[in-house]
Amino acid sequence: MKSYYTILFIIIAIAEGFCVGLTFHSKRKIAKILRIVFFWALVSIIANVLLTYTENIRVADFAYSLFFGSINWVIYYMLRFTTEYTAFPLSTQKVFRPFLKILLTIDSLSMFLNLFFHHAFTTYPVVTSHGEQYFHTLKYVFYNVHLIFAYILSAAILLVLLGKVFKTPALYWRKYFIVIFIMVFLLGTDALFVFTQKVIDLSILSFAFGSYLLCYVALIYKPKALINRMHRYIVENLADSILFFDADKTCIYINEIARERFHIDPKNLEAVGDLLQPWLRKAKADLRRDSYTAMYSGSCNGPTDPETNENRIYLFIEFHRMYEKGKLLGSFFRVQDRTTYMNNLMTERYSMAHDPLTGLYNRDHLCRRIEERLMEDPDGDYLVISSDIKNFKLINDIFGKSAGDAMLCRIADALRDNASEDTIYGRLGSDKFGLMMRRERFRENLFIEGPNQIIKMEDNLEYPVIVHIGVYEVSERRLPASVMFDRSNIAMQTIKDDYQNRIAYYNDTVRQKLLWDQKLSGELEEGLRLNQFLLYLQPQADHFGRVKGGEALVRWDHPSEGFLLPGTFIETFEQNGRIAALDRYVWERACQLLQKWKEEGHNEMYISVNISQKDFYFLDIYQTLSDLVDKYQIDPGRLHLEITETAMMADMELKQEIIHKFHAKGFCVEMDDFGKGYSSLNVLKDLPVDVIKTDMEFLDDSVQPERAEKILKVIMKLAASLQIEVITEGVVSQEQVDFLKGLGCHTFQGTYIAPPMAVTDFEQRYMA
C-alpha cells in the first residue's frame, strides 16, 4: 500500500509545484496570497509523507504536529484569498487580521509543544492487515479547540462567499460557487478522515484538485457571459450609433441611438443598408476598403431634405470589416454625432476671429486676412487705412460707455453697408478701425464726409464726431499687416491735434521721420553711456534781475548728426517711452551739479528738472529721486520737480500720494504748463504744488488778449492767496517783465533773462 501512497504523494506534490509556478507568472496581489496557500499545503503534504513512511513514534508525533499546525495556516490564507477575491472591505480585514494571526500563532505553538506535553493528542502505532505499520492519534481537549478554530475559519470563508453571492447579479455566481465548492470538498474530505480514523489522511488529495481550481478561477477564468453582457450594455447605451452587419451585408443589430438617428424600424433591419446609402454617398464614403472614416454635413432629416442652419448636423462615420482566420466575419458602422462639438468649434473660431462688441474681425484676424489677400493677389494695388475717433474717451465720460459702444456699433454697421465685397475690415481696438481696400476704389471725400456727422446720443443730445484717417499705400508687401497699420497710424498721428485736416498719408516725409525716430531710439543707450547728452541751464530770475536757479535742459552732442536741440529727439522718446532713461540721466547730472555747488559754497542756487508723464509708468519716481539726493547728499529743496499739468491730471489720486511723499522728503514741486489743460483749477484744488509755471504764449496765442490778461491776473491773485509761487516762462522783453510784475509775478524765465546755456557758462556768469 505504501508504494501506492508514494505514487499518490508524488502526483499531489507535482500538482502543488505546478500551481506555485503559475502564481509566479502573475503580478497580481491575489497570486502572492495563493503562493502562500500552496506553500502551507506543501508543508501538510510533507507531514503526511513522513507519517506514511516513518516507524518512529517521535517522528510521527512531529509529523502530526506539523500537519495540524500547517492546515490552520492553509485555511487562514484561504480566508485572505477569499477576502481579496471578493473585494471584502479592507478596513474590516485590518481589524480582524492581527487578532487571527495571534490565535494561529498560539495554535501552532500548542501543536509544536504537544511533542513535549502531549496535551492535544498522543500517537500510537497500528498495524494493517497487510502487515504495514502506521500511526493514529488519540485527541484531547486542546486538539478539539484547534479543530473548532479551523472550522470557524472555514465557516468565515463560506460566509464571505455566500454574502457576495447574495449581493451580486447571477452572472457573478459561477466564480464564487467554484470557490465554495472547493471549500466544501476540502472540509468534506477532511471530516471524512477525522471521523473515520483512516490510517492515511487522504483528504490531501483534495489539495491538488482544489489548487488547480483556485489557480483557474483566480488567474485564468474569464467570465465570458459577463463580458458579453457588458459589451451589449455598453453598445446599447453608447452616445454613438452602432450598426452590425453579417458577412452577407445584412444588418443584424442596431442600438437605440441608431434607431432614433436614422429612423429605423427594428423589425425591418433588412432595409438598413438601403437606408444608409444616401448618407454614405453624401459623406463620400469609400466602401471598398476594410476600414474608413468619413464626415457627413447636412440636414438632420437626411441628404434629400433642404438644409437650413437650424437643422444642420455633423456626423463622423467610421466603418470596419472584421475577419476571423482570414475569412470575413462581418462589419460594423460607428456614427458619432459631432454637431455640438462642431457648433462649439465654429463659435470658438468665430469669437477668436471677431470683436465681441461689433462683430467685425479683431486685430489679429484682420491682419491675417490682409496678409492672405496680398499673397493671393500679388499684383493688386491696395491701401491700408486706419481710423481714430478724436476724444473718444471724453465721449464715454460725457454720455456713458453704453453710448460710446453704440457709436462703435454704428460705425461697424456703416462699414458693412458701404464696404465693397473685396474690402477687408475690422476693429483694431478701442475706438480704432482698420481696413484694406483696392486703391482704385478709394474716394477721399467719402472718408471725410462720411464720419463727419452729428450722431444722436442718449436723451436726444448731439455731439460732433471727428474721425481722423491714416492711409498707407502697400508698397512693401512682405511687411506684416500690423506694421502696415502702424504706418497708417503714424501718418494719422501727424494730424491728431488738427481739426481741419482729417486724412494723412504715409509718405517719404513720414517715413523719414519714422527712420529718424528708429535711429535715435537705437542710439539712445550708447549716447547715455558715452555722456553725449549735455546738461544746459536756463536761468530763472526774480523781479530784481537776480538769478535764483535754472531749469535743467538737455542737448545731444551726436557723433554723426551734430548738436541736436531737444525738439529733434524729446518727442520721439516721449512716444516710445524711452524718455524715462533720458530723464533719469538728467536728474543724476543735476544732482551731481548741486553736490559740486554745495562743496563750492553755492547753496543758494536750485535746479528744476522735468518729469515726463511716461516716467510714472517706467520708474518709481519717488524712490529714484530720493535715492539720488541721498547718494549725492544734497538738500532736496534745491532740486525742484517740474510736472506738467497734463501728467498730473492722469490718475490724480496716485499723483497726489506721490506729491505728498515728495513734500515729506523736502522736494519743491512745480506744475508746468499751467492753464494749458482742461481742468487747471481742479488740479490746483487737489494737488498741493509749491510753484505753478505759466507761459507768455497764453497771451500770444489768444484771439482776445484783453480777456487773456484778465484771466492771467486772476491766476496771479489766486496763486498769491494760496501762497503758491508763480514762474512765467517765455519772457522776451522788459515790457513783459513790467507787465507781469504789475500782475504780481516775481520770477521770470525766457530769452530776455538769458537763453539756455552750458553749465560752465552759467557758473561763470552767475556764480563767479
**For 713-725, b where at least 16 C-beta lie within 10 A, e where not — what string?**
eebbeebeeeebb
Predicted local confidence at residue 512, as pLDDT: 84
Give the residue among 11, 4, 16 at the shortest CA–CA distance from 52. Answer: 4
Give the residue among 420, 309, 408 at the shortest CA–CA distance from 360. Answer: 408
Indicate the pairing of strand 747-749 with strand 725-729. parallel
Answer for the pair 298, 312: CB distance below 8 angstroms, yes or no.
Answer: yes
**Domains along the chain?**
2-221 (1.20.1070.10), 236-342 (3.30.450.20), 355-506 (3.30.70.270), 520-766 (3.20.20.450)
Distance separating alpha carbons of residues 649 and 575, to the nearest angstrom: 18
- Cell 500720494 sits on residue: 657
- Cell 549735455 sits on residue: 534
Distance separating alpha carbons of residues 633 and 598, to the nearest angstrom: 9
What is the average pLDDT across 520-524? 90
What is the average pLDDT across 86-106? 83
pLDDT tens across 671-719, in order? 887 766 544 566 676 678 889 888 877 656 545 667 777 878 888 888 8
DSSP of 712-749 = HHHHHHHHHHTT-EEEEE---SHHHHHHHHHHT--EEE
DSSP-based three-state secondary structure for 552 = strand
Answer for the pair 391, 448: CB distance below 8 angstroms, yes or no.
Answer: no
Percent of the chain whose predicted confidence (pLDDT) is above 90 = 26
- Residue 649, number of CB atoms within 10 A of its CB: 18
On the question of pLDDT at 456 being above 70, the answer is no
Distance separating alpha carbons of residues 639 and 349, to the nearest angstrom: 57
165 against 605, higher pLDDT:
605
pLDDT tens across 52-64, in order? 888 888 998 998 8
pTM score, whole prediction? 0.50
On the question of pLDDT at 454 being above 50, the answer is no
pLDDT tens across 578-618, in order? 899 999 999 999 999 999 999 998 888 999 999 998 888 88
What is the average pLDDT across 168-180? 77
On the question of pLDDT at 465 being above 90, the answer is no
Predicted local confidence at residue 308, as pLDDT: 66
As beta bridge partners, residue 471 has 385, 505
Answer for the pair 713, 678: CB distance below 8 angstroms, yes or no.
Answer: no
Distance separating alpha carbons of residues 667 and 643, to the nearest angstrom: 13
Q: Is 3 exposed, middle or buried (0-12, 13-18, 19+ CB in 10 A)?
A: exposed
pLDDT tens across 35-50, in order? 888 888 888 888 888 8
pLDDT tens across 319-372, in order? 898 888 888 888 888 999 888 888 888 888 888 999 999 999 999 999 999 999
On the question of pLDDT at 460 being above 80, the answer is no
Predicted local confidence at residue 198, as pLDDT: 59
The confidence band for 463, taking pLDDT boundaries of 50, 70 and 90, is low
The radius of gyration computed from the CA coordinates of the chain, to the nearest angstrom, equals 50
pLDDT tens across 483-513, in order? 999 999 988 888 876 767 889 999 888 878 8
On the question of pLDDT at 446 being above 60, the answer is yes
Predicted local confidence at residue 216, as pLDDT: 75
pLDDT tens across 648-671, in order? 777 777 888 899 999 999 999 998
Answer for the pair 649, 617: CB distance below 8 angstroms, yes or no.
Answer: no
81 against 215, higher pLDDT:
81
545 against 26, higher pLDDT:
545
Q: What type of residue sits at position 542?
A: D
Average pLDDT, the chain: 84
pLDDT tens across 400-418, in order? 888 888 888 888 888 888 8
Distance separating alpha carbons of residues 730 and 670, to the nearest angstrom: 16
